[in-house]
Amino acid sequence: MVPGSSAEMGPPRADESLASVEEVAASIAAAIALVPAATLPLPQAAGRVLTEPVRAPLPLPRFDNAAMDGYAVRSSDVAGASPATPATLRLVAPSSAGQAAPPELPVGYACPIATGAPMPAGGDAVIMLEHAVEHGGRVLVTRPIDRGRNVRRRGEDVAPGTELLHAGQVVSAGQMVAAAALGRTTLQVRRPPRVTTVMTGTEVVPAGQTPAEHQVFDAVGPALQALLADLGCTTATLGPIDDDPGVLAATLLHAAEDSDALITVGGASVGRHDHLKQVLRRHGDLHTWRVALRPAKPFVFGAVRDTPVFGLPGNPASALVAYEVFVRPALLAMQGHSGDRVRVQARLTVPFSQPPGRLHLVRGLCWMQADRRLVRPVGGQGAGMVHALAAANAWMVVPPEVEHLPAGARVEVWPMSASEAQAGAGAGSVRVRP
């Protein structure tokens, strides 16, 4: 049992201090384990972390071949060639890509050759089409060429036994190209984490159903599924379930059997119907549940059957902030990723004030104007307000010690999506000011 678990925690006091974001993040990092490796087809390995090196069993290129279309020649046959006194060579049968290497090239001959086609023995250079004129079964070469020019030699790119890919690398298009060039169809990588999301709340109904007057739609679940898919997780969603500790306990205990992580939404605070802390104390471990974070103070982290449990608040903004600050880095760490995120600096266009004491992720709108990146808060910042989320494209990060920021202050900004990160990454990005 780690410090801060249920054995050391009593009921909250009014003056009880909040855990810092750094303390909670460190507690989570210490409890997270890597998911096992799996052998996946190349396309499915994209974005995942290699768990073993890949060494070349053969040279690349596998044979001497032409780097461009032209004529394979012996460089000594065209020494001294010029437009005024071209070298005249007889032609042999052409060499085409995908066919066996042609016979040895005789002295005084040229071999028409395609890009990637095998070089004939004796040929040591390729004359570009622009530097030759073919006529009547002969080719006139108008300039000399160095030995080895426009030829890709066997093994010049990768020698046999070279460690081409390294354990810990993230597989992207370039790594897949390299693996496929070696004849690989699979790679051993960290498998996708299996994440089960449990939606809670007697008052919550899925979108598509008709809610009663006292019920609300599940506003968080679809966004979580998209965010988890973006991290490469396989997902399952349970609920919404009633606010009943027995139902919650049974659901978590069952889901933990086939999950690498559990995420609950709702029930993380101190209300009469908030049962997550009680369930974790009774059936697992409760590591932390009060964080100096705005919104998302009642974030819960614990475990059931050694499966990490991330308890997100039910309010939409709070749930997304807790996910960004705590859950996203943890799920990336499970896969062997560094967990780093895109962080940019922007100029605040309006003054901003807050009560100090908690790290504040403010819903903001970030855009480029000429060569400057600008940001401003949007809408009300209440934890349950969705209008600001609809208008936002970034989180504006305000440190806990800051009480006031004047217009023009530089602030850290986290883009809300990969597309926003790409759009705002460069000073030359063009964005329309709202």
Note the pLDDT tens digit of each residue in 210-252.
888 899 898 999 999 999 999 999 999 998 999 999 999 999 9
Mean pLDDT over 373-392 rounds to 86
Label residue 427 by pLDDT band (50, 70, 90): very low
Closest CA to 187 of 179, 178, 198: 179
Cis peptide upstream of residue 106 (ω within 30 degrees of 0): no
Say what the pLDDT of residue 207 is: 84
Mean pLDDT, rounded, of the chain: 90
Say what the pLDDT of residue 339 is: 65
Mean pLDDT over 85-91 rounds to 97
Q: What proportion of the chain, given as a percentage, has pLDDT over 70?
A: 91
Question: Is it the case that residue 12 has pLDDT exceeding 90?
Answer: no
Burial class (CB in 10 A: 0-12, 13-18, 19+), 288: buried
Q: What proportion of the chain, given as a percentage, has pLDDT over 90?
A: 79
Note the pLDDT tens digit of each residue in 124-161.
999 999 999 998 899 999 999 999 999 999 999 999 99
Closest CA to 63 of 157, 184, 178, 179: 157
Question: Is it the case that residue 169 has pLDDT exceeding 80?
Answer: yes
Say what the pLDDT of residue 4 is: 35
Quick check: 392 and 386 in contact, CB under 8 A?
A: no
The residue type of 276 is: L
- Rounded to 5°, the CA angle 425-427-429 comes to 70
What DSSP designation does 227 have?
Answer: H
Domains for the chain: give ranges and CATH numbers. Answer: 21-35+192-334 (3.40.980.10), 38-60+156-190 (3.90.105.10), 65-152 (2.170.190.11), 344-423 (2.40.340.10)
Label residue 426 by pLDDT band (50, 70, 90): very low
Note the pLDDT tens digit of each residue in 387-415.
899 999 999 999 999 999 999 999 999 99
Question: Is it the case that residue 340 has pLDDT exceeding 80?
Answer: no
The residue type of 207 is: A
Label residue 431 by pLDDT band (50, 70, 90): very low
Quick check: 25 and 287 in contact, CB under 8 A?
A: no
Label residue 272 by pLDDT band (50, 70, 90): confident
Quick check: 16 and 290 in contact, CB under 8 A?
A: yes
Cis peptide upstream of residue 295 (ω within 30 degrees of 0): yes
75 Cβ contact list (under 8 Å, min separation 6): 124, 125, 144, 145, 146, 147, 149
